[in-house]
Amino acid sequence: MQFWQIQTLNSFALGGLLFLLSSGFALIFGLMRIANLTHGALFMLGAYAAVSAMRAGFGLALAAVIAALSVAVVGGLIERLVLRRLSGNAQGQVLATLGLSFIASDFCLIVWGGDTIPIQTPAMFQAPLRFMGLIFPTYRLVVVGIAVVVGMVLYLLMERTRLGAMIRAGVDDMQMARAVGIRASALFTTVFCLGALLAGLGGAVGGPIFSAYPGLDSDMLSLALIVVILGGIGSLVGTFVASFIIGFIYTFGTALLPDLAYVILFLPMVIVIAFRPTGLFGTIRT
């Protein structure tokens, strides 16, 4: 009983982190029509930035904010300095992000070394929560809470604000959006920063669960790709649902069949691709 309950909560926590990671990826893909292959590296950068911030004496909450903001700046620089030069050449942009992801992961290796660095769970969340005879690791609940809040904020941002309306217009028809006076250039930078911010936040918040280690980037990038393929590109709801589906499949797969967890990840993706190439909720066919 305890096993199922803990694993269920772990699944939700992983799903929440995957949502933080993938929503940014999906946002960037939807608007700019590029697959940002640095996204895993940005997540890792968030985790390492949190490590440094905590070493400087900040608590995890503040460290996460610092990490998210600094990763957002990195994202903005990537968009301004590199991707901007390749506008109109989607394939070139994707390959440039691939090159940047190698640079970023090697950079982390130089700065933070090759050993796994654990991140402490904040003291106030260390004691497990007891409720109706069941025990819940508190921090996992906090992670789920953060993901849900971020999801709601993103939803409101997209549906209720002027910026959201501009992004939606850009996703639907970039040329038309430009014609009615939306500044695509500023919009791209904003969205790229926002996506990077979410990835960095995910890395920092996920720190106590994953720790920071070299290779975190490529683990997270594969999960993000699978989530986005499964959920459908350009759909926030799809990304949300798929994040939790993959969170469950991966957690239970790893717990029950550790050798074959990756194959189990593969199955839902294949089934969805076979019957619905646009993904569960997607509307854009790539």
Partner 1 sequence: MKRSHFLLLAVLIALPWFAGEFYVNLASQILIAVIFAASLNLLVGYAGLTSLGHATYLGLSAYISAWLSLRMGLGHAITAPAALLLTTLVGCCFGWIALRASGLGFLMLTLALSQIVWGLGYRWVGVTNGDNGLSGLTRPAPFGIDLSDSGAYFWFVLVITTVVLYVIARFVNSPFGATLRGTRDQSRRMSSLGYDVWGIRWVTFVFASFIGAIAGLLYVYFNKYIHPSVMSVTVSAEALLAVIAGGSGTLAGPVVGAALVMLLKNYASAYVERWNMLMGIVFVFIVIAMPAGIVPGMRTLLQRLKGGQE
Give the footprint of partner 1 on residues 195-214 (CB under 8 A): none
CB of 105 to partner 1, least distance (A): 7
With binding defined as CB under 8 A, does residue 266 bind partner 1?
yes
With binding defined as CB under 8 A, does residue 116 bind partner 1?
no
Number of H helices, E strands in the chain: 12, 2
With binding defined as CB under 8 A, does residue 285 bind partner 1?
yes
Q: Which of 21, 228, 241, 280 binds partner 1 (CB under 8 A)?
A: 228
Nearer to partner 1, 95 or 256 (CB): 95
* String of contacts with partner 1 for each residue 89-108, x by CB under 8 A: xxxx-xxx-xxxxxxxxxx-
Nearer to partner 1, 56 or 260 (CB): 260
Q: What is the 3-state secondary structure (H, E, C) of 15-64?
A: HHHHHHHHHHHHHHHHHHCCCCCCHHHHHHHHHHHHHHHHHCCCCHHHHH
CB of 26 to partner 1, least distance (A): 12
Q: In this structure, are residues 208 and 119 in contact, taking their beta carbons and an 8 Å threshold?
A: yes
CB of 10 to partner 1, least distance (A): 18
> How many angstroms separate the CA atoms of 210 and 58, rounded?
19
CB of 34 to partner 1, least distance (A): 7
With binding defined as CB under 8 A, does residue 111 bind partner 1?
no
Give the alpha-carbon dihedral of 215, 270, 195, 181, to 10 degrees. 150
Structure-token pair, residue 242? 């798929």
With binding defined as CB under 8 A, does residue 113 bind partner 1?
no
Which phi and psi angles does 256 have, rounded to 5°? -90, -40
Task: Specify the DSSP element, H or E, that contains 121.
Answer: none
148 in the Ramachandran plot: left (φ > 0), alpha (ψ -120 to 50) or beta? alpha
With binding defined as CB under 8 A, does residue 34 bind partner 1?
yes
With binding defined as CB under 8 A, does residue 171 bind partner 1?
no
With binding defined as CB under 8 A, does residue 126 bind partner 1?
no
Structure-token pair, residue 139? 């921090």
Span from 11-19, 29-37, 54-62, 115-123 in contact with partner 1 (CB under 8 A): 29-37
Q: In this structure, are residues 31 and 168 in contact, taking their beta carbons and an 8 Å threshold?
A: no
Can you name the residues that pair with 135 across neighbouring β-strands? 130
Q: Which of 72, 226, 236, 242 binds partner 1 (CB under 8 A)?
A: 226
Binding site for partner 1 (CB under 8 A): 29, 33-35, 37, 82, 85-86, 89-92, 94-96, 98-107, 109-110, 218, 221-222, 225-226, 228-229, 233, 258-263, 265-266, 269-270, 273-274, 277, 285-286
